[in-house]
Amino acid sequence: MSRLEGKVAVVTGASKGIGASIAEHFGAEGASVVVNYASSKSGADAVVKRIAAKGGKAIAVQADVSQPKDVTRLFAETKAAYGKLDVLVNNAGIYEFAPLESITPEHFHKQFNLNVLGLLLTTQEAVKLIDGKGGSIINIGSIVGSMPVATASVYSATKGAVDNITIALSKNSAPRRSG
């Protein structure tokens, strides 16, 4: 039996890169995977196809995780397809490096809305689907959260926020664990 047999995982930003690799590894370990994507349907479909080719189960669900209605739909489709949730991987993110003089409110909000607000919105919906036996929420951070580079002040701030949110939520969720 595979380590994740019978488990259901949502991986955000899973149409390429790290997210695609995580989704494929979860599928190879027996999890039923929801491959979330914002804009690359072809990328997400390719990940689903690779998971299925190795005997796994997966579906692709479009949702911009910085948008509350999209997040609600993502988890509604997860529930409709698999009935539950065991693992959420908050991987979706964006980075745009810029020197101080080039930072605009749009630059700031684009990164914070996806990297930070999106993580919070998906986590809120995920805990509603994770049953009393527990589950896992994995947040993808970056070394730049604690070791910023010169032109990555906004991106580094989002990843620092991810680190702190992860710590705070682990303290909030610890008392909920059963057994």
Q: Are 89 and 12 within 8 A, CB to CB?
A: yes
Please say whether the beta carbons of 121 and 68 come within 8 A: yes
Residue with tokens 């397809």: 81
Q: How many CA atoms lie within 13 A of 23 on its CB side?
A: 34
Catalytic pick among 37, 82, 95, 155: 155
- Alpha helix stretches (DSSP H) within 67-149: 68-82, 105-112, 118-129
Could you confirm whether 95 is annotated as catalytic? Answer: no
What gap in Å lies between CA 19 and CA 138, rounded to an integer?
Answer: 12
> What is the distance between the alpha carbons of residues 90 and 12, in angstroms, rounded to a whole number?
6
* Residues acting as catalytic residues: 155
